[in-house]
Chain A
Amino acid sequence: MDDKIKRIYVPMTESGFYILYCLQTPQHGYGISQQVKKMTGGTVVISAGTMYGTLSKMEKDGLIRFSHEEEKRKLYQLTELGEEILAIEIKRIERVYRNIKGEHINE
């Protein structure tokens, strides 16, 4: 994987993570924000400009791609690179979670 992409996205912002996580199935910007709001009990709310900016950047960097259009809305989904980055992030967050629970990781 491109080291530069990894440097930009690992670790990523909370909004970035949730957007990537939701795009495992095709979704449009507003749909993602609704899904994230529901998932997090309203704790994580992603605004319009942040959503648009993040999607544009992720598409440019090849993490997500255009899937199809529904009622004039563009739906996106993860690319292979996006899946890879998401997997790295999930692993990182799991490690943090286990560590704060007092676990040590022996590999």
Chain B
Amino acid sequence: MNKTVTKFFTIADYEEEEEWLRDQHRNGWKIVKITPPCSYTFELCEPEDVIYRLDFSNKEESEEYMNMLKDFGWEYIGQCVGWLYFRKPASETKTQEEGELFSDNVSKAELVSNVITTRMVPICLIFLCCVIPNFMRFMNGEFVGTFGMILGLFFSVMFVVYVYLIIYCGTKLKRIRKRYED
């Protein structure tokens, strides 16, 4: 039996997402597929404590990377907009590090920096170069007619969403990075 759940995690919520997937597995639902932007397909299974970890990559991961993670006991589940999903039964981890993809703070902070440069920077650019100018044009009454109204409303919604995303993700990612840098 399968179930599909729609749940939205921002790019700054990957640690919460890991915990959520672990909870699902504890309750007998293991993830089989993640469909962008926010749809999760689970399969009924024996309840088990399984650790879930996400890595972020802006490029196609090499065979070497996949093989190395397999050597370390990680099962690859799939990929979704740059995020790679892995899992490992908690019973196979003797130390905390064996249940982590990254064992030192330097590499944990690097993951956050990577997310900031490849995700936050484009979001800010789209906001500055597309959302703000069009929102201003709408506010100045430059969009006319029904189509203009729809376009204006679209950019107004985008304006709010982007402001929220930039403030929420920006501060949260910086906070996570700071936790590992101190």
List chain A positions with a Cβ less than 8 A from chain B: 13-15, 28-30, 33, 42, 45-54, 72-74
Which residues on B sit within 8 Å (CB–CB) of A15?
103-104, 107
Would A49 and B101 count as touching, CB distance under 8 A? yes
Per a CB cutoff under 8 Å, which of B65, B67, B72, B94 touches A47? B72
CA A93 – CA B55 in complex, angstroms? 33
Given the interface contacts A45-B97, A45-B98, A47-B98, does A52 sit within 8 Å of B68 by beta carbon?
A: yes
Residues of chain B whose beta carbon lies under 8 Å from any beta carbon of chain A: 55, 63-65, 67-69, 71-72, 74, 94-95, 97-98, 100-104, 106-107, 110-111
Further contacts, 15 of them, CB under 8 A, given A42-B95, A50-B103:
A13-B104, A14-B104, A15-B107, A28-B71, A33-B72, A46-B103, A46-B104, A47-B72, A47-B98, A48-B71, A49-B101, A49-B102, A49-B107, A52-B65, A52-B69
The residue in A29, A33, A45, A48 that gathers the most chain B C-beta atoms within 10 A of its C-beta is: A48
> Which B residue's beta carbon lies closest to that of A74?
B64
Task: Enumerate 16 A-B pairs (CB-CB under 8 Å) in ascending A order.
Answer: A13-B106, A28-B68, A30-B68, A47-B97, A47-B100, A47-B107, A48-B72, A50-B101, A50-B103, A50-B104, A50-B107, A52-B68, A53-B107, A53-B110, A54-B107, A74-B64
Q: Whole-angstrom distance between the alpha carbons of A74 and B55 in the complex?
A: 21
CA distance A54 to B107 in the complex (A): 8
Interface of B is mostly: helix
CA gap between A48 and B102 in the complex, in Å: 7
In the A-B complex, the 7 residue pairs with the closest CB atoms = A49-B101, A30-B71, A48-B72, A45-B97, A47-B103, A50-B107, A29-B68
Instruction: Evaluate contact between A49 and B55: CB separation under 8 angstroms.
Output: yes
Bound Cα distance A66, B74 (Å): 24
Task: Give the CA-CA distance A82 to B69 in the complex, in Å.
Answer: 25
Q: How far is the CA of A51 from the CA of B100 in the complex (A)?
A: 12
CA distance A45 to B104 in the complex (A): 9
Given contacts A13-B104, A15-B104, A54-B107, contact A46 B68 (CB under 8 A): no
| Given A13-B106, A15-B103, A54-B107, A48 contacting B67 (CB threshold 8 A) | no
- Please give, as numbers and ranges, the residues of chain A lying within 8 Å of B67 by CB-CB distance: 72-73
Alpha-carbon gap, A13 to B109, bound state (A): 13
Q: Which residue of A lies closest to B107 (CB)?
A: A50
The docked-state distance in angstroms from the alpha carbon of A48 to that of B67 is 10
Q: How far is the CA of A28 from the CA of B72 in the complex (A)?
A: 12
A87 vs B68: C-alpha distance when bound (angstroms): 28
